[in-house]
Chain A
Amino acid sequence: MYLSTVLTDLTNDKHWQKVNSVSVLKYYFNLFMAYSTYYLQYAINMFADYPPEVKVAVLVTVLCAVLMLIMGIALFSLSLKRKHWNRIHRRFERKYGEKMDYMFSADAQKKMSKYEIADVFDIPHERIGKEILKNRREKEVFVQIFYQKFITERADYTNRENITEVLYLFGIPEFLEKEVSLRSTSKKADAMSKIRTFKLPISTWVINKLLSSKYLSVQRLAMYSNIMLSSDTDLDYFETDFFDKHSCIKDEMELAYSLQRRRRAGLKLPNLARWANLQKNEHSQCMFVRLMRRFDELEYCGQLTKLYTTQTRKKKLIEEISRTWGYLHYTEGEDLLIDALLTQPDDTKVAIMHALTRFATGKGIGALLEGYRNTTNPHVRFEALRCMYNYGKKGRAMFYELEKNAKEQDKKFFDFFKNPITLERIRLDKEQAYHPSVETIYNG
Chain B
Amino acid sequence: MWILIYYIFCYLIFFYTMMLMVSYMYLVIMSHRAQKHLSVNIPDDETIKYFLQGSPLTPAVSIIAPAFNEEVTILDNVNSLMNIDYPNFEIIIVNDASTDRTLELLINEYSLVEVPYDIAMKVQSKPIKRVLKSTEEKYSKLVVVDKEHGGKKADGSNAGINVCSNKYFVCTDVDCIIEPMALYRMMWLVVNSHRPMIGVSATMLMSNGCIVEDGRVVEAAVPNTLIPMFQQLEYLRSFLISKLGWSCINALPNISGGFGLFDTDVAVKSGGYDPTSMAEDVDMLLRMVTYMKNTGQDFRLAQVPKVCCWTEGPGSVKTLCRQRIRWARGLFEIISNHRKLFFNPRYGPIGSFVLPYIFIFEFIAPVLELTGFLFMIWLILTGGVNWDSAIILFGMIYIFSVFMASFVIFFDYSAKAVEWKNTKLSYLKLLMVTLLEPFFYHPIITYCSNVGYWQFISNQTSVWKPIQRQGVKKKKS
Q: How large is the interface on B (under 10, 10 to 19, 20 to 34, 35 or more residues)?
A: 35 or more
Q: Is A3 an interface residue (CB 8 A)?
A: no
CB of A20 closer than 8 Å to a CB of B: no
Q: Is the CB of B56 within 8 A of A416?
A: no
Report the bound CA distance from A57 to B18 in whole Å. 9
Contact status B403-A68, CB under 8 Å = yes
Partner of B50, one of A71, A197, A424, A431: A197
- Please indicate the chain B residues that have their CB under 8 angstroms from the CB of A78 in the complex: 413-414
Contact across chains for A71 and B191 when beta carbons are under 8 A apart: no
Number of A-B contacts (CB under 8 A): 143
Centre residue among B14, B55, B59 by max chain A CB count within 10 A: B55
Contact A253 B55 (CB under 8 A): yes
* B262 CB to nearest A CB, Å: 14
* Complex CA–CA separation, A421 to B113 (angstroms): 9
B389 contacts which of A51, A147, A294 (Cβ < 8 Å)?
A51
**B135 CB within 8 Å of chain A:** yes
CB-contacts of A115-165 with B (<8 A)? 147-148, 151-152, 154
Interface string of B24-64 (1 = CB under 8 A from A): 00000000000000001001001101110011111110000
Q: Does A257 count as interface, using CB distance less than 8 angstroms?
A: yes
A248 touches which of B58, B192, B395, B403 (Cβ 8 Å) = B192
Task: Mark A396-422 against chain B: 1 for CB-CB distance below 8 A, else 0.
Answer: 000000000000000011011001011
Q: Which residues of A contact B409 (CB under 8 A)?
A: 75
- Let me know if A80 is at the binding interface, CB within 8 A: no
Is A434's beta carbon under 8 Å from chain B? yes
Other-chain contact of B115, A148, A421, A432 (Cβ < 8 Å): A421
**Chain A residues numbered 350-409 whose CB sits less than 8 Å from any CB in chain B:** 378-379, 382
Q: Is the CB of A60 within 8 A of B116?
A: no
Partner of B191, one of A148, A253, A419: A253
A64 to B28, CA, bound (A): 13
B400 interface hit (Cβ, 8 Å): yes
Q: Does B166 contact A (CB under 8 A)?
A: yes
Report whether over half of chain B's contact residues are helix, strand or loop; otherwise say mixed.
Answer: helix
Q: Which residues does chain B contribute within 8 Å of A294, judged by CB atoms?
A: 56
Contacts A61-B395, A440-B165 given; does A256 touch B55 at CB 8 Å = yes
Q: Of all chain A residues, which has the CB nearest B61? A: A437
User: Contact between B403 and A435 (Cβ–Cβ < 8 Å)?
Assistant: no
Asked if B21 is at the interface (CB within 8 A of a chain A CB), the reply is: yes
A248 to B192, CA, bound (A): 6
**B167 interface residue, CB < 8 Å from A?**
yes
Q: Are A416 and B402 in contact (CB under 8 A)?
A: no
Q: Is the CB of B396 within 8 A of A61?
A: yes
B174 proximal to A (CB < 8 A): no
Whole-angstrom distance between the Cβ of A314 and the nearest chain B Cβ: 15
A412–B116 touching, CB < 8 Å? yes
With contacts A57-B395, A71-B410, A148-B46 known, is A425 near B388, CB below 8 A? no
Query: Chain B residues near A282 (CB, 8 Å)?
Result: none
A148 contacts which chain B residues (CB < 8 A)? 46
Q: Is B88's beta carbon under 8 Å from chain A?
A: yes
Q: How far is the CB of A417 from chain B (nearest CB, A)?
A: 9
Interfacial chain A residues near B58, Cβ < 8 Å:
253, 435
The answer to whether A256 and B57 touch (CB under 8 A), given A71-B406, A71-B410, is yes
Enumerate chain A residues within 8 angstroms of B393, measured Cβ to Cβ.
Answer: 53-54, 57
Whether B392 pairs with A58 at a CB distance below 8 angstroms is yes
Residue of A nearest to B401 (CB): A64
6 nearest A-B residue pairs (beta carbon): A151-B50, A57-B396, A415-B116, A249-B191, A437-B167, A64-B403
- Residues of A at the B interface (CB closer than 8 Å) are 50-51, 53-54, 56-58, 60-61, 64-65, 67-68, 71-72, 74-75, 78-79, 147-148, 151-152, 154, 185-186, 189-190, 193, 197, 245-250, 252-253, 256-257, 294, 378-379, 382, 412-413, 415-416, 419, 421-422, 424-425, 431-432, 434-438, 440-441
- 10 residue pairs bridging A and B, Cβ less than 8 Å apart: A54-B389, A57-B395, A57-B396, A71-B410, A75-B409, A151-B47, A151-B50, A382-B120, A431-B56, A434-B57
